[in-house]
Amino acid sequence: MTGFPILTLLLAVPLLAALGCLLAGAQTARRLALAATLIDFALGVVLWSRYDIGGAQWQFTENVALFAGFSYKLGIDGIALLLIMLSVFLMPICIGASWRSIDKRVGEYMAAFLLMETLMIGVFAAQDLFLFYIMFEAGLIPMYLIIGVWGGADRIYASYKFFLYTLLGSVLMLIAMMWMVNDAGTTDIPTLMAYDFPVGAQKWLWLAFFASFAVKMPMWPVHTWLPDAHVQAPTAGSVILAGVLLKMGGYGFIRFSLPMFPEASAQFAPLIFALSMIAVIATSLIALVQHDMKKLIAYSSVAHMAIVTIGLFAFNVQGLEGSMIVMLSHGLVSGALFLAVGVIYDRLHTREINRYGGLAISMPRYALFFMLFTMASVGLPGTSGFVGEVLALTGVYQVSSWVAAVCGMGVILGAAYMLYLYRRVVFGIQANPDAAAMTDLDLREWLMMVPLAGAVLWMGIYPESFLRPMRQDIAALDARLSRARPTGDATLTPGKPQSAVRAVTETGHEQPASAPMRAH
């Protein structure tokens, strides 16, 4: 498809602005960064409105062959579209969150953020395997810088951990990619998604990709970099880390592991389920005992991401769509929660939960937004969190009632740790005079909160806007996975139990006329 290269423009705007920021003074850099991210958001809106739902699977494609089969090839489907929208939506908010709190090396900071935006969009838009790899790995470099330069006291250890985990995964993934290109003879991702790799090799390829995606997700037990990274990162860094970077792991599973290695995915689904169940229980309990607000929310992210992985490996439409919605929702909600922490951190310069208390008295507007995002995080119906959670769990229930029940425990524990946090920060008396003296949201902060709140409610009340663009792509993926779909443990046995105690497994003649046997 030829036409206006809107995806290239999406990549170019922040990149050029980043160069500008490097040269500009502090205030100019802030304004330039804000302008660039807002332009990118506007371009994203154009992209969404021009996206033809139900049309070609890959749209807005661009292709420039470079050398040796390696090409600059871009294009998006509905899944990529939604994740690009999430990125361009969160970016202006991040710039806004850094407006005052960053006051050293502002130009470089803004440049790092803008570069990261380019690379993130690139990850979701890349259609060439190596192009994806460059974007995927290089996207982390600005993040290291943001943590390492503008981070908190212990930033070196945090970025070191982040680096170490990521390195391991990326090397294995690169080797796997080389093998794949050799076998399939192409670096074109859409072609690879339809290519049937030998079942024996799939296992190794799957594990190599898993090593990378599991770290990014992050899945238990390779999650310990996340709490440190969040705690040390500046507010906007946490927002983008939780909001978009964690989604790269899930996107990787959807784009690579599932369609390219369906048999291996089915084979390793129990591993994914086991790790996810441990993650939900363990990290939720850990979140319960945290004294540091950012650490608490970071651990809750691990638990939420586990719902994404079980949904993805449920091998059905509800699971896949639910996972996508959880990713989008978590991007908004955890981003908003980190922002909410940032608002009070900017005033009191501590993340210690016990230093706060009674904020409802002096900061009622803040309390309202914090309540909304807390409820979205615990998955209250009417917010985005619920739609994703209920779809993902419905999906996984069809595969395993155990997984659904254990991960459902997250619903209880999530309410416990989030409300416990809210109680200690917002309710109670104003025990600390400096916390009591804090002022309510100013206009800048209010302008950051309102779009997030609106998006969270929109996705909760009318998720069709977000489900529709990806429906066709999820259906295609579901069809691709159908050959490897495992049978669930919760299947229905019809008929009279007296006559057929537990032997009847086929759909016999005793089945009631209208009863469907399995849901898809």
Partner 1 sequence: MDPILFIVFLPLLAAMIAGLGNRALGSVAAKTVTTGALFIACALSWPIFLGFLGGHAEPHVVPVLQWVRSGALSFDWALRVDTLTAVMLVVVTSVSALVHLYSWGYMDEDPDQPRFFAYLSLFTFAMLMLVTADNLVQMFFGWEGVGLASYLLIGFWFRKPSASAAAIKAFVVNRVGDLGFMLGIFGTFLVFNTVSIPEILVRAPAMAGSTIHFLGMQWDTMTILCVLLFIGAMGKSAQLGLHTWLPDAMEGPTPVSALIHAATMVTAGVFMVCRLSPMFAASPTAMAFVTIVGACTLFFAATIGTTQWDIKRVIAYSTCSQLGYMFVAAGVGAPGAAMFHLFTHAFFKALLFLGAGSVIHAMHHEQDMRFYGGLRKQIPWTFWAMMAGTLAITGVGIVDVFGFAGFYSKDSILEAAYASASESGRFGFWMGIFAALLTSFYSWRLMFLTFYGKPRWAGSEHVQHAAHGDHHGADTHAHGHHDDGTAGYHPHESPLSMLVPLVLLSTGAVLAGFAFHHSFISGGPGEFWKGSVAFSEELIHHMHGVPWQVKWAPFAVMLTGFLTAWQFYIRKPETPAQVAAQLGGLYRFVYNKWYFDELYDRVFVRPAFWLGEKFWKLGDIGLIDRFGPNGAAWVVAQGSRGAQRFQSGYLYSYALVMLLGLTAAISWVMVH
Nearer to partner 1, 38 or 457 (CB): 457
Contact between 95 and 39 under an 8 Å Cβ cutoff? The reply is no
Q: How far is CA 462 from CA 242, 383, 384, 387, 440, in A?
A: 24, 10, 9, 10, 31
List the structure tokens of 234: 């500046």
Q: Which of residues 182-201 bind partner 1 (CB under 8 A)?
A: 182, 187
Separation CA 419–CA 173 (nearest Å): 40
**Under rule CB under 8 A, residue 58 binds partner 1:** no
Measured from the CB atom, the residue of 291 and 483 that comes closer to partner 1 is 291
Among 107, 398, 456, 473, binds partner 1 (CB under 8 A): 398
26/371 with CB nearer partner 1: 371
Residue 19: how many CB atoms within 10 A of its CB? Answer: 13
* Residue count, binding to partner 1 (CB under 8 A): 109
Asked whether the beta carbons of 155 and 147 are under 8 A apart, the reply is: yes
Q: What is the C-alpha to C-alpha distance for residues 401 and 369, in angstroms, rounded to an integer? A: 35
Site for partner 1 in 423-452 (CB under 8 A): 423, 426-429
Which of the stretches 152-160, 200-208, 252-260, 329-337 binds partner 1 when contact is defined by CB under 8 A?
152-160
Segment 328 to 387, residues that bind partner 1, using CB under 8 A = 358, 360-361, 364, 368, 375, 380-382, 386-387
Instruction: Let me know: does 452 contact 294? Beta carbons within 8 Å.
Output: no
Q: Which of 19, 42, 56, 164 is close enough to bind partner 1 by CB under 8 A?
A: 164
Q: Which of 391, 438, 453, 455 binds partner 1 (CB under 8 A)?
A: 391
Q: What is the DSSP string of 226-245?
A: HHHHHHHS-HHHHHHIIIII
Q: Please say which residue, 68 or 153, places its beta carbon nearer to partner 1.
A: 68
> Contacting partner 1 (CB under 8 A), which of 35, 46, 282, 348?
282
Comparison of 97 and 332: residue with beta carbon closer to partner 1? 332
Q: Which stretch in 104-112, 243-251, 254-262, 398-406 sits in contact with partner 1 by CB under 8 A?
A: 398-406
| Residue 60 binds to partner 1 (criterion: CB under 8 A) | no
Q: How far apart are CA 510 and CA 46, in angstroms?
A: 55
Q: Which whole-number Å values give the CA distances from 88 to 121, 127, 252, 286, 514, in the listed order?
A: 8, 19, 19, 32, 47
Name which of 28 and 362 has its Cβ closer to partner 1: 362
Q: Give 356's contacts (C-beta < 8 A, 6+ positions apart).
A: 344, 348, 424, 425, 426, 432, 435
Residue number, 345 or 458, with CB nearest to partner 1? 458
Q: How far apart are the first and last CA of the chain?
A: 33
Cα–Cα nearest to 88, from 52, 41, 122, 131:
41
Binding map of partner 1 across residues 251-270, x = CB under 8 A, - = no contact: --------------------
Phi, psi (rounded to 5 degrees) for 22:
-60, -30
Q: How many residues does the chain have?
A: 520
Min CB(421)–partner 1 separation in Å: 10
Q: Which of residues 467-496 bind partner 1 (CB under 8 A)?
A: 467, 471, 478, 489-496
Query: What string marks each residue from 283 to 302 as x (binds partner 1 by CB under 8 A) or -?
Result: x-xxxxxx------------
Contacts of 512 (CB under 8 A, 6+ apart): 494
Exactly one of 41, 109, 124, 130 binds partner 1 (CB under 8 A); that residue is: 130
> In the set 39, 134, 207, 436, which binds partner 1 (CB under 8 A)?
134
Q: What are phi and psi of 66, to 5 degrees?
A: -105, -80
Q: Rounded distance, CA 277 to CA 400, Å?
A: 12
DSSP code of 253?
I
* Min separation Cβ 95 and partner 1, Å: 23
Q: Of the listed pieces 18-26, 48-56, 206-214, 418-426, which binds partner 1 according to CB under 8 A?
A: 418-426
Q: Hey, which residues between 225 and 254 contact partner 1 (CB under 8 A)? A: 225, 227
Distance CA 434, CA 437 (A): 5
Closest to partner 1 by CB, 6 or 367 = 367
Span from 30-38, 100-108, 190-198, 218-226 in contact with partner 1 (CB under 8 A): 218-226
Say whether residue 177 binds partner 1 (CB under 8 A).
yes
- Judged by CB under 8 A, which of 2, 52, 55, 68 binds partner 1? 68
Distance CA 78, CA 100 (A): 36
